[in-house]
Amino acid sequence: MNLNEPTQQNVEYMIEAIKTKLRMATGAAMQASSFTAEKYEDLKDIYDMVHSKDRFSISEVEALVSELGKLRA
């Protein structure tokens, strides 16, 4: 998948991948359809950071979820 293109399909893919990687208990509350390609670059930055690490502290997960919440439409 080419994540360099700011498409809604890529947004949805990245949100689902982030939820899976973070093992989010509240993943159902974070629907990929709530995000638009307008915030693509910010979302891509979060996606890249999440996939660069193997483990996250609770405070890191909370910070990431907070940032994702700010990006929702």
Residue 23's region, left for phi above 0, alpha for psi from -120 to 50, else beta, is left
> How does pLDDT run across 1-57, given as a tens digit for each residue?
789 999 999 999 999 899 888 876 566 567 888 888 999 999 999 999 999 998 889
Q: What is the pLDDT of residue 47?
A: 94
d(CA 28, CA 42): 21
> 30: closest CA among 59, 60, 70?
70
Q: What is the pLDDT of residue 19?
A: 87
Q: What is the pLDDT of residue 52?
A: 95
Question: pTM for this structure?
Answer: 0.78
